[in-house]
Structure 1
Amino acid sequence: MYAANTSHCNGVLHKLNLLREREELTDVVLEVEGRSFPCHRAVLAAFTLYFRGMFTSGYAEAKQETINIQDVSGVAMATILDYLYTGVLHAEPDQVQAVMSAARLLQVDFVARQAAEYMKDHLDVSNCADVLMYADMQGDSDLVKASNRYMASRFNQVALQPSFLQLSLPLLQSLLDRDDLMTSSEDDVVQAALRWIKSDQEERMQHLPALSKSFRHSFISPKQLAEIETKCLPTDSKVTYSKSTDQRLGHVRTEMQIFLQEDFLGHDSQQCAPCFDPSTGELYRINMPKNLDSFSVTATVDHELYLAGGILAKKDNILPGMTFRQRKFYQFNHLLNTWEPRCEMISPRVRCGLVYLKGFIYAIGGDSAKESAERYDPSCDEWTPIPAIPQSMSSELCVVTLDDSIYVISKEGCYCFSTTENKWRKIADMIQPPLHPQAITYQGCIYCIDCDKDWGDPVQALQTCIEMYNPANGEWKQSGNGKSYVFDTATLVKHGGTLYIFTVQIIDDHRNIVLRKKSVVYVNQYHKETESWLNVTDKDSLVFPSNLMKWLGSGNTGNRTDCLVARLIPQCLGKRTLVEDLVAEMFPDEEEENNDSSDSSGSGISDDSDSEDNLLYQEDSDEDNSHEDGQSGSDEEDV
């Protein structure tokens, strides 16, 4: 006979812990910082090499009823004993280092590893230097490496922290030698080192020659070099610089386009967004937060990315018809390709208008009342409320910035918020009130298109036009001489000093036994001098790869796609991926269909269009389609 009682092990631990709590059959007392911990020798010896060696050796402690434990805090000992008797580890954040130190001393490997992993996962600007010094003292090379990398990723902010000034010379040198310091200039590196010296100038000035070997001379400004030369150095000392001619990683950024499709995180395999480098034609991935969907993203003038709100991506956990808005707010870490939590918003929001303007980030609408607004200050990581929109926005809104003002566009009307006067005012409504507006600013005007017309009404669908708002006269007018557009998805993109609009139309291919949907993409470029949208005929100058268009057309009909432009670091975006692989991963159900494509050799660009307004990308199909191109938009600072 053979039988296994799966609850036996947990039951034994539970009963042993009850005996400990009642102090029954305990045969040793651990004294730690004046606290007494009655325990069982057998339990301690079974789970830690430290106590096994103590109790099975000839040491005096083997027979003592009370044992004093040095170099361990009482809280840490209580935490470790609770783990030994229950299998559950729980420690407050401010006790993690103490618990890790105790676990390493007592040789409780699991606890030590978990504490180290916790510190890796919770590194931030305020604690990373302290963690680095602690990890170096403990000899934990993995934690040292993680701390160093995080400090490099936020170097400018970390260098302003008091703990940065406590770094030892070797740790500071190791940091300043890194190629991946995220700084805007080499002067930042020099100034950080000089700040470290100034904090204890009498003692540390002698280290300037050693630190200067980390400075990359080719990239230091003449003014900064002159300041270094004025420093009073010890006798027989001189400043020598690094021989490296490589720029720091933070100095090398490329303007890239991040494409975000509404509900694109609904696919379990999809936790990233395609990121396109027009200068090379390469596609990359930018990781996105897990378990969030329908969020908003914006970029600052110095290309920091922030993400706000959203709903849980796992919709199985949400009751039908219910939407749970989130207060979450994140900042993108360019080096680590991750999103780091920041101060949560005051109100939960989903698809709010998120924009950056003159040092602040604004979150507008998307709350339960769809009218509140708030402002975020990155310098102090704090949100404060601002006046609410005068009109509740029951439908979707889009938000753009122009000069000192923020513009809100919706079916209920258009409003302008003056950041200097801190108040809203009503402006002219669009000619055709939009259900799902997308907008972008260009040369002092706002361009907007409605991406959610009533597709069951062919007359209304054919009347979808791009409208332009001119703040100078406070009027909307139809752009492109009032030309109308038909599409399933449309997106406005600003690139190379001009505007583009690409539209995706989903068509049915009836040539196959199995009905297959095709994505047909049209692209036009805006010419302001003639107030027209013309097709792009030069393939080589086109800024959108055809296979990226396939991804844009792979979602559900009518899904909104936004394009955010920011300067990113391609090397930090992870493995470069072929567009076809990215599409296959995001939409696995289409992979077999895509592999059967009859057209796999070219870009799919059709050059035989007779219309000056149309440029056609046609995926997996050679059929001729006559279609008037449209343009939908997203402000480059608003997703």
Structure 2
Amino acid sequence: MDRKAEEKRRQRHSLTLLEQVKRMKESTEIVDVVLVAEGEKFPCHKVVLAAFSPYFRAMFTCGLVECTQREVVLYDIPAESVSVILDYMYSADLLLTNQNVQTVALAAYFMQMEDVFSVCQKYMMDHMDASNCVGIYQFANHISAEDLSDQARKYLYQHFAEVSLQEEILEIEFQQLLTLIKSDDLNISREESILDLVIRWVKHSRKSRAEHLIELLKQVRLVLVSPSFLVEARKRNTMILCNSECNDLFEEALKTIRLSSQPSLSLRYGMETTDLLLCIGNNSLGIRSRHGSYADASFCYAPATKKTYFIPSPKYGEGLGCVCTGVVTENNDIIVAGEASAVKMSRQKTRNIEIYSLCTTQLRELYALGTIHNDLYVIGGQMKVKNQYLVTNCVEKYSMEQGTWRSTAPLPVPLACHGVVTVKNKLYVLGGWTPQMDLPDDEPDRLSNRTFRYDPAQDKWAEGAPMKYSKYRFSTAVVNSEIYVLGGIGCLGRDRGQTRKCLDAVEIYNPDGDFWRDGPLMPSPLLSLRTNSTSAGSVEGKLYLCGGFRGAARHEVITKEILELDTWENQWNVVAINVLMHDSYDVCLVARLNPRDLIPPPPDLVDQ
């Protein structure tokens, strides 16, 4: 008998045993014990109970009085939980719901059924949200479930802005609330949320909680609250207005705010989260030997503070291969995509920097990646068909919520090495090259200066006004709802085979008016680091260009400086020199990150 046949035989044998034992329970045959919970009786078999529960095995084998008793009373365990666990013992089905999971977990904990307890923990982790994480956290602490407690605490802190608005948090004890609002790790952007929570918590049971108001208010960082909010909170709440000590706290905070523009108190976690330029994907070229530990890191730059940080590169975390493009979704998920194999995408969470594989689609390269809401679009590119590379107009959409791919309306023309940006929930595809049969092999196909707009509501493409230059290897960014196209390799007008050169041109597109205008020339001609990925990003109404290849007549020289374009002044400035540690990065994105989660730069780089 071969191995597979033997396995099937064993499975049939196990299923037969399970089915027969279940039938005997249902017909109360050979029943030798009855469990009693909340007055409800559950006839069953000692051998089954002992097989699944060390608690019952010990009870029935160590000579206790229960060995001879027909009935075993289970105190403080709901009848529903006993029923659910017995169903699992006799049928392998564990029917958990949001309403019963904690009581089933307690029963499993009492019966020492680690497998059931683990399933209950996983269920609570998977179904955790802002409305129940506080209760799960308290439950986990009560039974010393460390993994569940840690997961719930992280969720509570990370989603505190939303959790603080739920009714559940108003039920916690004073000491628990005090511990929470003392923490620097709460992910809130405004201290007003903490003050509002304290007031609501006291009001929820004012008679018993009013005595805690002063101690709680002392943990609220009142100088971080806006003066108008402080004044209004005091005016609307008599428990503050009529308490001299509360009034003193508010007056002192208002006085401090008037005298100082910079708060002296430490900020909470969410208050430090800011828009950062994120240069992702790299190789180790250009890394000094003393910076070897940074070879696998990508670069972050905070324009507001002019500080640099580093983040693990997703290609090293996921075996993604060469990163070719990326986007940041509405939910602030950082998505990067690779090429030269079946296209893999890696999703990077911005809290605790978790990296995991997202999806895979058909093999292609030199494509563009766009996003609308939280859907991803893989647009155009070059595909290998029967050992030949063909430029395609295919567009595929990936739903991150459903985890599914589907085809959408194709591009009007095949394109590769093009750029894509999102403005007002529409995709704009710019430039690139399109296949032609009359060009020599050592040149790419005809360059494009065309502009295409995709409307997901209608699943249709429309063509807009063309750019002045046909081009590829340019950078793109959206500033104040206008599209900036910077540098690249190209030629003036429609590509008819004329000479191509490195460009210092900046073209600006207004989607509402469907027209292009010239922007301020770059300090020198500049190419993007990759053939179709941007080296630019927009933060607080200013455009930043992070490195690239500088040169004329297509002579490429690596630059490691960061340029800033003030779009109101139309003036370029160098804001950082030699901060880009690697020789090249694959794509520049803008994401909301917290410096606490990032890797600090080496000391000698800071000194520079």
Q: 1:523 to 1:282 in 2, by over 3 A?
A: closer
Question: Matched residues in 2 for 1:38 and 1:369: separation?
Answer: 65
Is the 8 Å Cα contact of residues 27 and 40 (structure 1) preserved in structure 2? yes
Is 2:279 the counterpart of 1:259?
A: yes
From the superposition, tell whether residues 38 and 251 of structure 1 become closer, same or farther in structure 2 (CA, over 3 Å).
Answer: same
Task: Give the secondary structure class of the aligned counterpart of 1:143.
Answer: helix
Tell me, what secondary structure is at the counterpart of 1:175? Answer: helix
Q: Counterpart in 2 of 1:246?
A: 266
Cα RMSD, aligned residues only: 5.8
Closer, same or farther in 2 for the Cα pair 1:109/1:486, shift >3 Å? closer
Deviations, residues 146-186 of structure 1 (Å, cap 9, x unaligned): 32332121111112223233333333222212111111121
Aligned counterpart in structure 2 of residue 439 of structure 1, from 476, 482, 487: 476
TM-score by length of 2: 0.63
Which stretch of structure 1 is more off in the superposition, 272-281 or 96-105? 272-281
- CA apart distance, 1:362: 7.2
SS at match of 1:395: coil
The verdict on how the C-alpha distance between 1:285 and 1:427 changes in structure 2, with shifts beyond 3 A counting, is same
CA drift of 1:275 comes to 3.9
Q: Deviation at 1:187?
A: 1.5
Quote the residue 2:214 is aligned against: 209
C-alpha separation in 2, matches of 1:112 and 1:61: 24
**In structure 2, how many angstroms separate the alpha carbons of the residues matched to 1:236 and 1:440?**
53
Runs of 5+ unmatched residues, structure 1: 1-5, 265-269, 454-458, 506-518, 553-560, 580-600, 606-639
Higher relative contact order (CA 8 A, sep 6+): 1
The aligned runs of 1:352-431 (5 Å cut-off) are 352-354=369-371, 366=379, 391-392=411-412, 394-395=414-415, 398-400=419-421, 407-409=428-430, 411=432, 413-416=450-453, 426-431=463-468
Would you say 1:177 and 2:182 are equivalent positions?
yes
* Change in 2 beyond 3 A, CA 1:361/1:149: closer
Secondary structure at the aligned position of 1:549 is classed as coil
Contact 2:474-2:527 at 8 Å conserved across structures = no
Q: Is the 8 A contact 1:445 1:468 kept in 2?
A: no
> 1-side partners of 2:529 and 2:499: how far apart?
8
Corresponding residue to 1:522 among 536, 556, 559 = 559
Match of 1:548 among 582, 599, 604: 582
1:297 to 327, 348, 353: 327
Q: Which residue of 2 aligns with 1:233?
A: 239
Shift of residue 282, structure 1, vs aligned partner: 3.8
Q: Is the 8 A contact 1:353 1:398 kept in 2?
A: no
Residue 105 of structure 1 and its aligned partner are, at CA, apart by: 1.6
Q: How does 1:300-319 map to 2 (within 5 A)?
A: 305-307=332-334
- AA matched with 1:50: Y
- Range that drifts further, 563-572 or 232-241: 232-241
Query: What one-letter code is carried by the residue in structure 2 that aligns with 1:337?
Result: I
Q: Distance in 1 between matches of 2:37 and 2:283?
A: 55
Tell me the equivalent position of 2:440. Answer: none
SS, match of residue 104 in structure 1: helix
Output the amino acid matched with 2:515. G
Provide Cα deviations, 1:65-88, integer angstroms capped at 9, x if missing partner.
4445454456644664576679x7
Matched residues in 2 for 1:220 and 1:173: separation?
18
Alignment of 1:547-626 (within 5 A): 547-549=581-583, 552=585, 561-573=586-598, 576=600
The one of 103, 112, 118 equivalent to 2:117 is: 112
Percent of aligned pairs sharing the same letter: 21
Q: Which residue of 2 aligns with 1:21?
A: 22
In 1, are the aligned partners of 2:426 and 2:455 still within 8 Å (CA)?
A: yes
What secondary structure is seen at the aligned counterpart in 1 of 2:184?
A: coil
- Describe the shift of the 1:176–1:141 C-alpha distance in structure 2 as closer, same or farther (beyond 3 A): farther
Q: How many pairs does the alignment contain?
A: 508
State the distance in 2 between where 1:491 and 1:236 align. Answer: 58
Pick from 508, 527, 535 the counterpart of residue 492 of structure 1: 535
Q: Which residue of 2 aligns with 1:39?
A: 45
2:353 to 323, 337, 347: 337
Displacement of 1:215: 0.7
CA offsets 1:408-448 (integer angstroms, 9 cap, x no match): 32558413579999998632223555567641235855114
User: Which residues of structure 2 form unaligned runs of 5+?
Assistant: 1-5, 254-263, 285-293, 381-391, 435-449, 492-496, 551-555
User: What is the TM-score with the length of structure 1 in the denominator?
Assistant: 0.60
Letter in 2 for 1:414: T
Residue type at the aligned position of 1:545:
V
Q: What letter corresponds to residue 158 of structure 1 in structure 2?
A: V
Q: Distance in 1 between matches of 2:415 and 2:281?
A: 19
Report what 1:285 is aligned to: 312
Query: Which residue does 2:444 correspond to in 1?
Result: none
